[in-house]
């Protein structure tokens, strides 16, 4: 049972490159993406919606043309092991999720999903073996349709220069850019030595 065009071992290697390690969520996520895609009509131009920030976004980005930067990958922070692929135009698609009621034969997956033990106490080798062997047997599919706010191209409108910092920003944000309005998740100051 392949993950996209890759064997499990190949995909495992690729996750180490892209994600930094072969985390359980991304191995499982790879299977979920593959299952959802197989359930879409062939040739569908699709986007993706993942329901957790952990791991699943990377599985989607590694296996589909959907990325955060091309805005075809949408991330909502519901903390659920679930993802959907949906038709970009009509919003209809397929949701793949981990069905906790099917975890019986795979105790280490349950321990991991439900955080029944700390990461250090979990048996990561056994967990990975279970993920490989369980395949899609721990997942379920549902038909879905995204809210229409996900459809169509949204322009952020005209761009202007900020009277505070001089940088460009979307005029719809107001008289100044959001940073100069006080939304400051960071502080900054000029470098002593110019390097550019």
Per DSSP, the three-state class of 18 is: helix
**CA distance linking residue 21 with residue 12, whole number of Å:** 8
In eight-state DSSP terms, residue 74 is: E
Q: Is 151 in the site for its own copies (CB under 8 A)?
A: no
Map the footprint of its own copies across residues 3-22, applying CB under 8 A: 18-20
Q: Which stretch binds its own copies (CB under 8 A): 5-13, 122-130, 163-171?
A: 163-171
Nearest Cα neighbor of 74 from 168, 146, 172, 157 is 146
> Which member of 1, 2, 7, 159 binds its own copies (CB under 8 A)?
159
CA terminus-to-terminus distance, the chain: 50
Are residues 72 and 48 in contact, defined by beta-carbon separation less than 8 angstroms? Answer: yes
Q: How far is the CB of 125 from its own copies (least distance, A)?
A: 21
Q: Which of 79, 105, 164, 174 binds its own copies (CB under 8 A)?
A: 79
From residue 106 to residue 145, what is the string marking binding to its own copies with x (rule CB under 8 A)? -------xxx--------------------xx-xxxxxxx
Write the interaction track for its own copies spanning residues 28-67; mark x where CB under 8 A is met and - where it is not: -------x--xx---------x-x-xxxxxxx-x---x-x
Would you call 135 exposed, middle or buried from its count of C-beta atoms within 10 A (0-12, 13-18, 19+)?
middle
Minimum distance, C-beta of residue 117 to its own copies, in the bound complex (Å) = 12
């Amino acid at each position: 049972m392949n993950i996209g065009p890759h064997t499990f071992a190949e995909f495992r290697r690729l996750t180490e490159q892209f994600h930094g390690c072969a985390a359980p969520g991304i191995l499982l996520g790879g299977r979920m993406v593959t299952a959802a895609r197989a359930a879409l009509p062939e040739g569908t131009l699709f986007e993706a919606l993942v329901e957790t920030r952990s791991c699943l976004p990377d599985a989607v980005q590694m296996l589909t043309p959907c990325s955060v930067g091309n805005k075809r990958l949408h991330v909502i922070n519901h903390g659920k092991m679930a993802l959907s692929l949906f038709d970009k135009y009509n919003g209809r698609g397929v949701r793949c999720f981990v069905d906790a009621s099917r975890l019986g034969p795979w105790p280490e997956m349950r321990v991991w999903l439900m955080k029944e033990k700390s990461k250090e106490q979990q048996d990561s080798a056994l967990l990975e073996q279970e993920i490989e062997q369980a395949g899609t047997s721990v997942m379920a599919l549902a038909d879905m349709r995204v809210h229409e706010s996900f459809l169509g191209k949204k322009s952020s409108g005209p761009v202007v220069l900020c009277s505070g910092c001089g940088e460009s920003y979307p005029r719809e944000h107001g008289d100044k850019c959001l940073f100069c309005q006080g939304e400051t998740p960071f502080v900054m100051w000029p470098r002593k030595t110019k390097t550019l």
